[in-house]
Structure 1
């Protein structure tokens, strides 16, 4: 495992497919408050709080494998840090579907990404139930930990024990089965108080987005963490596939990908719902700029502007440029919607056959309705984030998971720190036998004094740590690696007594 400047174009990766695919397995045990000792380095004494992670933890039942890992049941991991020590707890989310399938010993629900119940198309036809698998994200809101899956309500968990409290409709704010995004954004306090901003989408020929804002901390005026403080609905023409969005102080920024949805194969039991999505060749997407209620454009109508061709799952960040009046959005673009066909085994996927994600900056001019763009990073990348204090602001640094080589599509094996102003890159690599998932940047609560001659704001922005789970193909188990966010040097490696499949999203809580 190394840290170095970015390698020259043409560098070839060195990994074995069996190392990568060995991560696809079931989590076999649930642990409670197990101490973790670093096998290299030391845990920073200043690191205090909890890293929560979510992802598919059950990929097989009764000898049948899911068709896509995104259909796996949600499993939460909590890594608690204090005083240079770490402890691990993990639990499956006790959803209705998980309980039913645990009892049956087989799949009894279809998966959105193509997993079928036993019995072929006839057994799956006209079964349009959605299994809420609670496997995509996990965030703390007030005294509840929420396991998120964007097609339905969240599940509430105990933040300490991870025991499932049950399906949550947020004290009646959500209707039964109402969509609640698995990708909220945390406003650090652009309007005086921190907020969790999120959305739900009802897709169809006309799609409706519900934009919600919750207090994420108790306020002096009696507003409690978890209280809804803003709520609005907006309808747009066309089918909307929205996994993520971005925020600025004034706007919620959505990108409506140019996709079509043909439900017939899903209804007939031939495909999962997500497999019925297809890009519209030659068509570009559309940006939706929805005014936030606390912002300068509160009460105005949403703005619709053209987006570059391509498909976007995730955004890095957005901000408002005071010099030009533009809204700047950084997103990870794919040439096309990456999907796995009904006859393809995801463990044998040909990476060269699917497009890679690349980081692109779009500058949106609301006054003229024009959009211009440039590439920020053409290395295959995903799961990018900025310092949480810079959410919605002009951040200088980004941290993201990247492929080992600089061009072409490969498994993610490294973490890159990218200077968004200069283009300078630092890369920590887990290759050849390590494979990374989403990094989480944890800011230092009390910044060290900057070095002589360094700008204070730069020193503060990248002062902290990057926490990243790594699949270790050499021992067929998971490591948790702690990096120095500034220079990407390795601070500690914790070998977990647990094998966790590749996860999706996670969050840091300084209070849990």
Structure 2
């Protein structure tokens, strides 16, 4: 097969033009669709998090994941839409704003000015609050998985500061940037999340929080309902996990961490990770304290080769646990001498959706490839989290095989393999799609897909609303804000 050169597949300059500083903070700016109509029954707020400052005093971050976090809120109300955005006022952001220069190293390779000598033995990490955003109780939490969350006002986006969640967390304790929301498999809806302490032996703290207030039971939204800690052999690089009614499923990638180049100022901490060619990945299945196996020890099962950032979903079937994940053949990274905007996509492994069926009694794992198209940021209907699902939505490459920037939204029928495509190509580049069920819907795909698109032609961001059933455009809104390629978001229904 002959592969077209990247220059003919997409306009690199248009893709790279998104990596810029956000220079303004807006408050409740009303928006009008350029095409289509905003559904009147789409009521709530779309929150998005991602790096908003990628350069300071002429020095650009080495990797966009090192950029300071900025929250965007798009508030829907009976057909009207308004936008607000704020940087998360972390301590490090405030220090660097006041100094007018870079003061901290970044996990993904960004260095302070002054070369290796200036960076050697400076092991401080700036909590950049740039990865996820969720509402828990009356707090909006900006998440960065290496440290505590920052609390913001859900309406004004004002930063209240570090949150220890009422004493649940200790100062400096890691708290995942990728929680999962149990829609109510047991007594009540929950936010299930974790923190991990890594080392030669790693410890996972699994936590479940109430997401709704139950006055009769004396439970408030945001209360910690249950937790447990489990330790495992080996270094744990964990960004995401999956849940079923009874299990929290983690994939320990076969990754080694050599901290010496980080200590000596040569690399960022994440650049010190590398796949172990003779290593064995493991599934760690931790019984949930709200489930049928509470109190039992974890199950540890050999996992397939490859590297996983994100899972689609997990579910149980006659005692088996089925996990659907996006697999890379190797850990993708940006080396110290590499310009991330000039990365050769043909040399980076693509993410492919695969299903692993784990038979707990025997430890056997059967793997099935679900799609050959490069994809990321896959999700199911949130009301079906942890259950068998027919449909999945994901960001994907425009071509059917090979690695490229994400330019289309794909709906995949997990039963038949049929797929539908909405394309932003050639000038548009997509991010994580969020599926919002229609109020009162009974069909799994009855709702909308909310998608932030980088419009390279006008060097700005568009909000696109798609019908989740057929991916037809419902509305396109050109935003008065240029939002860099981001990470994770969430939908909060109006209350």
What TM-score do the two structures reach when normalised by structure 2?
0.98
Provide the residue aligned with 1:454 in structure 2. Answer: none
Residue number among 398, 413, 424 corresponding to 2:418 in the alignment: 424
Provide the residue aligned with 1:185 in structure 2. Answer: 180
Q: Deviation per CA, 1:338-366: give whole Å up to 9, x if none.
A: 00000000011100111000000000011
SS of 1:316's equivalent? strand
**Contact 1:401-1:413 at 8 Å conserved across structures:** yes
Provide the residue aligned with 1:88 in structure 2. Answer: 83
Question: Are 1:263 and 2:246 counterparts?
Answer: no
Question: Are 1:488 and 2:456 counterparts?
Answer: no
State the 4+ residue runs in structure 1 displaced beyond 4 angstroms.
8-13
Provide the residue aligned with 2:373 in structure 1. Answer: 379
Provide the residue aligned with 1:283 in structure 2. Answer: 279
Q: Deviation per CA, 1:167-200: give whole Å up to 9, x if none.
A: 0011111111100000000000000200000000
Pairwise mapping of residues 205-354 of structure 1 onto structure 2 (< 5 A)?
A: 205-219=200-214, 220-322=216-318, 325-354=319-348
Shift of 1:410: 0.1
The root-mean-square deviation of aligned C-alpha atoms, in Å, is: 1.3
d(CA) in 1 for partners of 2:51, 2:375: 21
Residue number among 128, 133, 137 corresponding to 2:123 in the alignment: 128
**Contact 1:9-1:405 at 8 Å conserved across structures:** no
**Contact 1:284-1:310 at 8 Å conserved across structures:** no
Pairwise mapping of residues 37-186 of structure 1 onto structure 2 (< 5 A)?
A: 37-186=32-181
Shift of 1:378: 1.5
What TM-score do the two structures reach when normalised by structure 1?
0.95
**Contact 1:383-1:400 at 8 Å conserved across structures:** yes
Higher relative contact order (CA 8 A, sep 6+): 1
SS of 1:212's equivalent? strand
d(CA) in 2 for partners of 1:30, 1:181: 27
Q: Which moved more, 1:17-26 or 1:274-283?
A: 274-283
d(CA) in 2 for partners of 1:357, 1:14: 18
Structure 1, unmatched stretches of 5+, are 1-7, 448-456
d(CA) in 1 for partners of 2:283, 2:219: 33
Q: Deviation per CA, 1:126-172: give whole Å up to 9, x if none.
A: 10011000000000000000000000000000000000000001111
**Contact 1:110-1:124 at 8 Å conserved across structures:** yes
Shift of 1:418: 0.3
Residue number among 361, 372, 383 corresponding to 1:389 in the alignment: 383
Provide the residue aligned with 2:11 in structure 1. Answer: 16
**Contact 1:139-1:506 at 8 Å conserved across structures:** yes
The total of aligned residue pairs comes to 492
Structure 2, unmatched stretches of 5+, are none
Shift of 1:9: 11
**Contact 1:9-1:407 at 8 Å conserved across structures:** no
d(CA) in 1 for partners of 2:218, 2:173: 28
SS of 1:377's equivalent? coil
Q: Deviation per CA, 1:457-501: give whole Å up to 9, x if none.
A: 6xx100000000000001000000000000100000000001010
**Contact 1:442-1:466 at 8 Å conserved across structures:** yes
